[in-house]
A and B are shown apart, each in its own frame.
Chain A
Amino acid sequence: MSGLQVFLEYTLAGIATGGVYTLVGLGFVLVFKASGVFNFAMGDMMMAGAYTFYLCAVVFDLHWAVALLIAVVFSCALAWLIERTVLRRMMGQPVIAVVMATFGIGFVLRGIAAIAFGSEAYQLPALLPRAPFFIGDIMLPGKSVRGFVLTTGLCGAIILFLRYSRAGIALRATAADQITAYAMGINVRRVFALTWMAAAAIGTVAGVIAASVTSLTPDLGTIGLNVLGVVILGGLNSVGGVIVAGLFIGWLEAMTAAYLPGDIREITPYIAVLAMLMIRPYGLFGTRPVERI
């Protein structure tokens, strides 16, 4: 196996993992941008979506596309409920209280999953065909290539939506200046709820991809910790930043896995984040002070 092939294969696998980080990171960033809330339940919302998919696709044996649709709708409803019952009541409380509440929501979701499904690891059906992919005579794993295409497509769709849709303008207006958004007749509270729902939908897709690459356990959401590094690196309020940072961290993890011994591997991405923050305290593309979390 040639050195080039190793490099390409790990790069692709890394970018595929990074794509999942990016998606989950986008969920964080959308909510943070709109409402300034740092949602620590993001990883667990992703996990909840993945279990819903498992229920529909495996237990009820539905077509994967139908199962994904149901999972997305369910997690949107869940996010709406969370926003309505917990977060709306906490308006005007200190930011730290709201952040702790999202921690609590995450614990509850994980607890429910553990009670309902146990700690056993489930296998999800392969979302994407596994047939290998060829660039010239270099063979690449099909799962990575297609995962990459899927996440890139989704990220692109999100960017286009924020850029060109009317709802995207409402979200950017709310993110930029809440009072002026109200002055435009924008229902800011509804924008908050919609960002939670969008985050849940994106998280569900990311969760299904992540779980189908590895396996599904109630701890799937701990990927949210890696994503924490990603969003801090990219800048908490920067959509472009989180995409670059997500792909970069995923790639860096794969590179260290390919070329470095085990114990350095684990911490390399965090060293990268730390080094970056010393140079640019608001992250690569962020503009808002990080201490707002």
Chain B
Amino acid sequence: MVPATLVLTGVDIRYQASVDAVRDLSLTVPRGGIVALLGANGAGKSSTLNAISGFLPLLRGRMMAGRISFEGEDTAGLAPHALVRRGVLHVREGRHVFADMTVEENLVAGTFALTGRRAVHRRGFDEVYGYFPILAQRRKGQAGYLSGGEQQMLAIGRALVAEPRLMLLDEPSLGLAPRVVAEIFAIIARINREKGTSILLVEQNAVMALGCAQYAYVLENGRVAAEGSGASLAADASIRELYLGVGADGAARSFRDAP
């Protein structure tokens, strides 16, 4: 059997001198699938992605328990850049484009992920520019002057350069106009379909995320409060309140009290 792209089992995350951010989290991203990880602000979504990509120690955080495996292999002990070079690309919350560099230099930075992967040579950035034609127009422009939506496209494009096998997208809709959000989600779905890239999609915008994910987990206060197929969760009105953080005092109650 082909192993799932990503499997988390019983993951606990804690930051230095702080309460637990994530408790006993298990989730699976099947090969070629889109899985959404939903939840309100502070639920532990970004922490989960940082655990997967190995950034926790850089943020003074730690995985206290549990196991993360990528394509059947335990990722503990892999340096963050080494994991990237195997194809785990984390598009961080807030985009983090290199503002002082041009669009193209940002894409060149993305090519460091290809280090040591034989098959891929420098093929230029035609594929990225194909998905995001606006970036081709802004090629020589400074990334800091791009609009929010364009910066998000650059952040995703930069990951695309690296021939990702798994993309971790942290709130790609953050702060963007609905029209732009729709455009970006359409491209995410296209990348998944055309390139077979597995995607773990973190969102607060659950409507959009459930629209393209096959399966979703809802986090509340660091624990999985609900999970199910994208369609079934989208149909459940109570879930909307839960991810919006309305029922922050307890998952069960927010389920019961939901209209």
Residues of A within 8 A of B (CB): 166, 169-170, 172-173, 176-189
B67: Cβ under 8 A from any A Cβ: no
- CA A186 to CA B90, docked complex, whole Å: 13
Tell me whether B98 and A183 are in contact (CB under 8 A). no
Q: A178-B58, A182-B80, A183-B80 in contact; A172/B113 too (CB < 8 A)?
A: no
- CA A187 to CA B113, docked complex, whole Å: 9
A173 CB → nearest B CB, Å: 5
Tell me whether B114 and A185 are in contact (CB under 8 A). yes
B residues 57-97 touching A (CB-CB < 8 Å): 58-59, 79-81, 84-85, 89-92, 96
- CA A169 to CA B98, docked complex, whole Å: 10
Encoded as 1 (CB less than 8 Å from any A CB) or 0, chain B from 94 to 138 comes to 001011110001001111111100000000000000000000000
Give the chain B neighbours of A187 by CB distance below 8 A: 79, 81, 112, 115
- CA A169 to CA B115, docked complex, whole Å: 15
A138 CB → nearest B CB, Å: 42
B242: Cβ under 8 A from any A Cβ: no
Q: Contact check: which of A172, A179, A188, A189 meets B98 at CB < 8 Å?
A: A172
Q: A173-B98, A186-B81 in contact; A180/B92 too (CB < 8 A)?
A: yes
Tell me whether A184 and B110 are in contact (CB under 8 A). yes
Residue pairs across A and B with Cβ atoms less than 8 A apart, 17 shown, are A166-B108, A169-B108, A169-B109, A173-B98, A176-B100, A179-B58, A182-B58, A183-B80, A184-B84, A184-B110, A184-B112, A184-B158, A185-B81, A185-B85, A185-B162, A186-B112, A187-B112
Give the chain A neighbours of B158 by CB distance below 8 A: 184
Give the chain B neighbours of A178 by CB distance below 8 A: 58
B185: Cβ under 8 A from any A Cβ: no
Tell me whether A173 and B109 are in contact (CB under 8 A). yes
Give the chain A neighbours of B89 by CB distance below 8 A: 183
Give the chain A neighbours of B162 by CB distance below 8 A: 184-185
Q: Which residue of A lies closest to B108 (CB)?
A: A169
Interface residues of B toward A: which range?
20 to 34
- CA A53 to CA B81, docked complex, whole Å: 37
Give the chain A neighbours of B80 by CB distance below 8 A: 182-183
Q: Contact check: which of B59, B84, B91, B92 meets A185 at CB < 8 Å?
A: B84
- CA A179 to CA B115, docked complex, whole Å: 18
B255: Cβ under 8 A from any A Cβ: no
Tell me whether B98 and A182 are in contact (CB under 8 A). no
B197 CB → nearest A CB, Å: 16
B55: Cβ under 8 A from any A Cβ: yes
The 7 closest A-B pairs by CB, nearest first: A185-B113, A185-B84, A182-B80, A185-B112, A180-B96, A186-B112, A184-B109
Tell me whether A183 and B90 are in contact (CB under 8 A). yes
- CA A185 to CA B78, docked complex, whole Å: 12
A177 CB → nearest B CB, Å: 6
Tell me whether B84 and A183 are in contact (CB under 8 A). yes
- Known: A173-B98, A183-B90, A184-B84; 19 extra A-B contacts, CB below 8 A, are A166-B108, A169-B101, A169-B109, A170-B112, A172-B98, A176-B100, A176-B101, A177-B96, A178-B58, A184-B109, A184-B112, A184-B113, A185-B84, A185-B112, A185-B115, A187-B79, A187-B81, A187-B112, A187-B115
- CA A166 to CA B105, docked complex, whole Å: 9
B126 CB → nearest A CB, Å: 19
- CA A188 to CA B54, docked complex, whole Å: 14
Give the chain A neighbours of B48 by CB distance below 8 A: none
Most chain B CB atoms below 10 A, which of A182, A184, A185, A187: A185
Give the chain B neighbours of A179 by CB distance below 8 A: 55, 58-59, 92, 96
B152: Cβ under 8 A from any A Cβ: no
- CA A200 to CA B101, docked complex, whole Å: 26
B221: Cβ under 8 A from any A Cβ: no
- CA A272 to CA B79, docked complex, whole Å: 46
